[in-house]
Structure 1
């Protein structure tokens, strides 16, 4: 595993860091962060006299690869919106400018489309004055888009503007694009570093304990569940149904459920549920308590709905609307039983992703931006800044995009959900 966690570098870092005079805490080049966090996980390696698998620890180095005064840097944000995007942009710009003295920082607008020369979208020159207030706003100053662009097209822009470090902020599709770009750059022997910053509101990137914006999304999702509970209790046999974001991973739904102990059913993509089994459990709940709250991840129950599978510009599956389907199905089910029931359907949808970041996420975004700059200036490339076992890490992009992080139905997290909701473990 350690061979797979080795980070690529453009060359030897020989220049003294501009941070030397500030007495910054420098991370030694050999510093590593263990993948495993328990004795059971590391003991087999120790018995065999081997070092357990580990990631390179992120942070400022005493020597850097680039001359900050002689280069430009670039930032691009791709994919769906997420709380904290502006915080990350701001952190990258302020760290480059004030810590390293980089004078030209370009913001490429509307995702990779803004990086492609053929698209004719002029970049935005990012200065401390430009980014100073943006953390108070949701969304991204640079705009975003989905879908790939030609590698030659993007490289032409980087070379013309003398961009030597490119920061790509996005999820698995964005990081796959960053991987392809970094590999082409290495193949041509160009001195350009590509550093990824993980962004996924679903918290489904591998080797990242928590992605930025997730805490804000859970907080807002909890508000919708509170409203659903009020609505459910306000009617005889009232049902509050809330559909939350979570295409393939139900982390938002699970954590919002735990933050609101009034949820009675939590439905997530990782735990298949029989529709008839669920309807039976819901019926029993209403007969006993006369109200229920359902937290539903958008990717759950996709097998309940007939229809062809379609994909968006990034190759992601277009999900069927399970919220509207379940609302109608529940209403018809209880009508058929002759049992009075009222469904109040709440779909906060993009509300939870378009907010400014909360304090916890803002702090996290600042650290991610700072560590990304340290990684890029030291000459590391084809790498993402991660967070693992209480430390910021350098993770090769191939490890991040090789698989999706999903909730384990046997995990402590899901067992706590079952205990909190009281729902049957098998429906």
Structure 2
């Protein structure tokens, strides 16, 4: 049997567990009877194009094992979009390094790059197995129960809201409202996961706003007022990509003026900041906004144990699929049981995931569009792990 080399790259935004997938892939690859060397591309697909290739076989076993618990993307990443002229260079590089197995770890954009490379290689009679390994904090990958990276980011948000909610509650005599913004341009999975911080009705979060449900400004302000009147304060969680009813990003503006020049996907602004402004202008109340931005992508101290193990297993599965001759698809997670929580690893064609976005299921969102349902709690609970519970004082009034 003629052995060929494998190469792996990490694309797009990092996660707390993307290196766990890399660790699983390398360790399983070392055992393979079909893989000679395992190479890595620095800074995503640009590393392949610019010949920034490293030999992962030269790393010590200890270093490879430790990857399982190292956050962010250790090989470096990029968001480079392939151009037509790049494919000829890619196939030359694959030939130069005798690459028979290409593994790309990433999201829906990465799966599109994987699909394009595999098709180009087929068209040009270059034999290669191309396999994608799922990764995203947004959880917007189709045809998989969830993506590695999401559970850890969700746990980060839960813990932030748990502790930020107590801060907001205890400071309500000063700040009547707090808005926490999560990443999630098109989907609300991360914002919705904040529900696991809540154990009592009066606890945070009180309102959750997601891109799947456009906001009505009047109804939004009415809900805020209602919570403040009921609890004395309000804690709001929103996804960065939420929109008003006219489909304009809340991050861009909150007024009907659409002449504002936008910069970037979120219009160069912040949804939390603009909601904060809207509440202040309507009610003249002091409040705070909290923006975690990219921190949930690299917080190993808050990583979900299930997420670490599943990410590692996806790397192992990718090598096994390659050994079986599989190509043209991504490793996928199928949930077979919720209680006890069990999964199976399978595969799906690139066509089912490439450039596609998985929105939150309607059954997970309440009718008002400002909170989640019990069905979502059943979905998210096993993923985030145990959430701490804090005690309380009785705080009884002096009676003497």
**What TM-score do you get using the length of structure 2 for normalisation?**
0.80
Q: Determine whether 1:411 maps to 2:357.
A: no
1:49 paired residue number: none
Distance 1:184 1:248, change over 3 A: same
1:334 paired residue number: 283
Indicate the RMSD between aligned Cα atoms, in angstroms. 2.2
The answer to whether the 8 A contact 1:114-1:120 is kept is yes
Query: Equivalents in 2 of 1:378, 1:208: separation in Å?
Result: 21
Q: Determine whether 1:167 maps to 2:111.
A: no
The answer to whether the 8 A contact 1:94-1:128 is kept is no
2:182 paired residue number: 244
1:365 paired residue number: 311
Distance 1:419 1:82, change over 3 A: closer
Query: Equivalents in 1 of 2:220, 2:308: separation in Å?
Result: 38
Distance 1:402 1:147, change over 3 A: closer
* Equivalences for residues 50-65 of structure 1 within 5 A: none
Q: Determine whether 1:107 maps to 2:40.
A: yes
Q: Determine whether 1:70 maps to 2:22.
A: no
The count of residues paired between Structure 1 and Structure 2 equals 341
2:229 paired residue number: 287
Q: Which of residues 75, 79, 85 in structure 1 aligns to 2:12?
A: 79
Q: Which of residues 375, 382, 385 in structure 1 aligns to 2:331?
A: 385
2:220 paired residue number: 278
Deviations 1:163-189 (A, max 9, x none): 100001011111111110000011112
Q: CA deviation at 1:125?
A: 2.9
Q: Which of residues 229, 252, 269 in structure 1 aligns to 2:211?
A: 269
Deviations 1:95-140 (A, max 9, x none): 0102447341001010110011xx2423343445342322221112
What secondary structure, in the 3-state scheme, does the structure 1 residue paired with 2:294 have?
helix
Q: CA deviation at 1:384?
A: 0.7
Distance 1:291 1:176, change over 3 A: same
Query: Equivalents in 1 of 2:56, 2:267: separation in Å?
Result: 35
The answer to whether the 8 A contact 2:176-2:232 is kept is yes
Q: CA deviation at 1:368?
A: 0.6
The answer to whether the 8 A contact 2:103-2:132 is kept is yes
* Equivalences for residues 101-140 of structure 1 within 5 A: 102-116=35-49, 119-126=50-57, 127=59, 129=61, 130-140=63-73
Query: Equivalents in 2 of 1:280, 1:156: separation in Å?
Result: 61
Distance 1:318 1:334, change over 3 A: closer
Query: Equivalents in 1 of 2:153, 2:366: separation in Å?
Result: 19
The answer to whether the 8 A contact 1:231-1:344 is kept is no
What secondary structure, in the 3-state scheme, does the structure 2 residue paired with 1:381 have?
coil
Query: Equivalents in 2 of 1:222, 1:326: separation in Å?
Result: 21
Q: CA deviation at 1:268?
A: 0.2
Q: CA deviation at 1:418?
A: 4.4
Q: Determine whether 1:300 maps to 2:251.
A: no
Q: Determine whether 1:260 maps to 2:260.
A: no
1:23 paired residue number: none
The answer to whether the 8 A contact 2:191-2:208 is kept is yes
